[in-house]
Chains A and B, each alone.
Chain A
Amino acid sequence: MDLSYIVPALPSIILDGIALGLILSLISSGLTMIYGLGNVLNLAHGELLVLSTVTTAVLSQLIGLPVILSLFLGVTVTLLASAFLDKILLIPAYRLEGDDRTILGIYMTLAFAYALHSALITTFPNAYLTINVPIRVIEIGWVTLRMSQLITSLVSLAILVGLYLFLKKTWHGMAIRSLTQNEIGAMLVGIHIRRYRLMVFMIGGLLVSLAGFIRSIVATVGPESGIEFTILGLLVCITGGIRSISGTLVAGIIIGVIYTFLIAIIGSYLAYVLILVFVMILILVRPYGILGERW
C-alpha cells in the first residue's frame, strides 16, 4: 500500500482530526456528566444536537429570521428538550436505582431518539445547516491552516476550557463533580440533587448545540445525523472513562485524530469499524477509560 501521498497532507489531517476531536469532546462531556450524575445514558444526545441545527436552519432559511436569532432559538429549543428529558420523560427511570435505572434510561432515551429522529426527517427533510466563514488560508512555517479548521478548533477549545474552569473553580461546578462521586455525601453537605441533575442535562444540551453549530462550519449537518453523533459521542465517552469528565476532554482529541487519519487511509466504513474495535478492546482492558479513575 503506497501511502506516500499521505505525507504532505499529514499536518492537515491532524488538524482536521483535532478540530473533529474537540467537537466530539464537547458532545461527550455532556454525555459523561449526565451519566455520572444521574446514572442515565442519554442515547438521545445526538438527536438534541440535530434538533438545534434543524431549528436554526428552518428559522433562518425557511422563515428568514436573522442568523444570530436563529442560533439563539436553536439552543433554546434544545435546552427545553433537555429539561423535558430530565423532568418528564425519565420520571419512570428515576424511580429505580443503579443498573435497573440505567437499562430503563437507555430504553427511554433510545425510544425518544428514534421518535425525534423520525419526526425530524419527515417534517424537515431539507433542513441542512451550514455556517460559512471566510475562506482564507494561513501559513505557519510549512503548515497550511484553513480558516475553518482554526475557528472551529479555537472556539471548541475555548468552550472546553470554560467548562473545565467552571467544574474546577465554581461552587456549582464543584457540586456537580461531587455528585458524580458520592450522591449521599453531596446530600450531607446540602447539595440539591434534582436541581443539579437538571442543570447538568441543560449544560449537556447547551454543549451539544454549540457542537452542532461549530460542526456546521466544517461540514453540513443534516437532520439524519443524530444517531451518528450519539454513537461517536458514546465511543469517546467510553474511551475517556464513562464517569470521567476530564478523561473525556482528552479522549475526544485522540479519537478525532485517529478516526480522521484512518478515514484518509482506508475509507470511512473500515475506519469506523477499526474505531469500534478499538473501543471494544478498551472496554475489556480498561473499562474505566484510558486515564483511569479521575473526575
Chain B
Amino acid sequence: MIEKFNNRRIYVIAAVAILLLSLPIFYIDTPYIMFILAQMNFYTLFAFGFNYLFGFTRQLFLAVGAFAGMGAYITGIILREGIMGPVEAIILATLLVGSLGYIVSTISVKRKLAVIFTGVFTLAITLVFTNLTMALVDITGGESGFRISNINLMADWLPNYVSYYYLSSAVLLFTTIISYHLLYNTKLGYAYKCILDDELSAELIGIDVQKVKTLTALFASALIGFSGSIYGLFSQLIAPSYFAFASVDLPVQLIVILGGKATLLGPYIGSAVITVLNELLRLLGPLTLLIYGITLLFLLAFFRNGIVEFLKRKFETWLF
C-alpha cells in the first residue's frame, strides 16, 4: 500500500517538474508573465521554508520576510561593495540567515518558550529588520533601497526573467526531491508526524525533539535566506517594502494554510492560487489586503487543514 503511494507521488512530482520546465515555452515572449511565474516560484520556496518551520515542527516563525530580506540585503550589499562574487555572497548570506534561524530555534526550545513567545520574538526580529533597513540609510539606501542590476546567475543568453525562472524552478525541484526523500523514505518523516501529534510522547519514545526542531529551523531558515538572496538579485531592487511582513509573511502564511500545512505539494498549490488571486486583485489596490484578510479568515474557519486535506478527504485522492 505504501509502495503504491510512493510511486504515485513520484509521478506527480515528475508531472510538476515537466510543467514547470515547459511553461516558458508559452510565455517566453511576455516578460511580465515570466516575471510573475518566477516570483511565484520564489514564494513557493519561502512557503517551503515556512512549511518546515510551522507546518512540520510548529515553530511559529513570523520572520519569513525578514530572513529572506536579510539574505537579499547581505548578498546585495556584498556585491555592491565588490567584496565577493555572487556565488560566495549568496553562500555567506545563506549561512548567516541559517545560523540566525538555528539560534532562535535553539533559544525557544531550550527555554521551552510557549508558541506565543516564539511568535512575538520573531515578530520583533521582523520589526527590528524593517526599522534597521529604514534607519541605516547609508548602508541600505533607506526606504527606497538600492539597485543591483544584471547579475545573471545562469545562462547569459536567456532574458533575465527567464533565466531566473529556470534557476528558481531548479532550486524548487531540488528542494522538493530532497524533501520527498526525507519525508517518505527516512525516519525523519515519522519523527515529524510524531512531533506534530504529541511532542511529549515523541520525546518519550526516543525522538530527540530538540535536535529535529533546531536542525529543521537551520535548514528551513537557510532555504529562506538562500531564496531571498536570489530573489533580491532577480528583482534588481532591494528595498524594505519587498520584505515587509505584509508583503511576504502574510501571503506565505496564506499559501501554507491554503495549500495544506505539512504536505509536500501544498506550497505549490497555495502559491499558484495566491498568484492568480493577486493578479485578479491587482485592480483593487490597497483593498488587496482586505481580500487577503477575509480569505484568510474564511480559510481558517472552514478549511483549517488546507485544500490538500479537503481534497484528500472529499475524493480520497492518491495524489498527495
Contacts and interface: CB of A to CB of B under 8 A. Distances in A.
Interface of A: 41, 89, 91-92, 99, 102-104, 106-108, 110-119, 121-122, 231, 234-235, 238, 242, 267, 269-270, 272-273, 276-277, 279-280, 283-284, 287
B4 interface: no
Contacts of B84: none
Given A111-B300, A115-B290, A284 B107 contact: yes
A231 to B, nearest CB: 7
Contact of A122 (B107, B132, B285, B296): B285
Given A99-B115, A280-B124, A114 B300 contact: no
A197 to B, nearest CB: 18
B128 A276 contact: yes
Contacts of A287: 111, 113, 117
A232 B123 CA distance: 12
Contacts, number: 110
Contact of B297 (A112, A118, A238, A277): A112
B60 A112 contact: no
Interface string B130-156: 011011000000000000000000000
A119 B124 contact: no
Contact of A272 (B127, B286, B301, B304): B127
A99 B257 CA distance: 17
Contacts of B304: 92, 104
Determine chain A's interface SS by DSSP, over half rule.
Answer: helix
Given A92-B301, A283-B120, A114 B246 contact: yes
B31 interface: no
Contacts of A122: 285-287, 290
B115 A117 contact: no
B128 A118 contact: no
6 interchain residue pairs of minimum CB distance: A115-B293, A269-B135, A118-B289, A118-B290, A111-B296, A114-B293
B114 interface: yes
A284 B289 CA distance: 33
Determine chain B's interface SS by DSSP, over half rule.
Answer: helix
Given A103-B60, A104-B300, A118-B293, A269 B134 contact: yes
B293 A284 contact: no
B135 A270 contact: yes
A41 B111 contact: no
A209 B174 CA distance: 52
Contact of A273 (B60, B121, B135, B290): B135
Given A92-B304, A106-B116, A108-B297, A279 B134 contact: no
A172 B94 CA distance: 54
A234 B126 CA distance: 14
A257 B253 CA distance: 35
Interface string B295-314: 01100110010000000000
A116 B293 contact: yes
A43 B293 CA distance: 13
A107 B300 contact: yes
B182 interface: no
8 contacts: A91-B301, A103-B60, A111-B294, A111-B300, A115-B290, A235-B124, A270-B131, A280-B124
B271 to A, nearest CB: 18
Given A118-B287, A119-B290, A273 B113 contact: no
Q: Report the contact-size class of chain B (Cβ under 8 Å from the partner).
A: 35 or more
B119 interface: yes
A22 B220 CA distance: 41
A99 B60 CA distance: 11
B120 A111 contact: no
B288 interface: yes
Interface centre among A92, A106, A118 (most CB of B within 10 A): A118
Nearest to B107: A284
Nearest to B296: A111
Nearest to A103: B115
Contact of A113 (B60, B116, B288, B293): B293
Given A118-B286, A287-B113, A287-B117, A111 B124 contact: no
A283 B60 CA distance: 15
A206 to B, nearest CB: 24
Contacts of A270: 131, 135
A231 B127 contact: yes
B70 to A, nearest CB: 15
B131 A269 contact: yes
B21 to A, nearest CB: 35
B124 A114 contact: no
Given A91-B301, A118-B288, 6 more contacts: A106-B60, A108-B297, A110-B250, A115-B290, A283-B117, A283-B120
A111 B125 CA distance: 20
A238 B131 contact: no
B202 to A, nearest CB: 15
Contacts of B297: 89, 108, 111-112, 115
A35 to B, nearest CB: 8
Given A114-B250, A122-B285, A273-B131, A283 B296 contact: no
Nearest to B246: A114
A116 B285 CA distance: 15
A102 B116 contact: yes
B293 A280 contact: no
B113 A283 contact: yes
Contacts of A113: 293
A283 B292 CA distance: 31
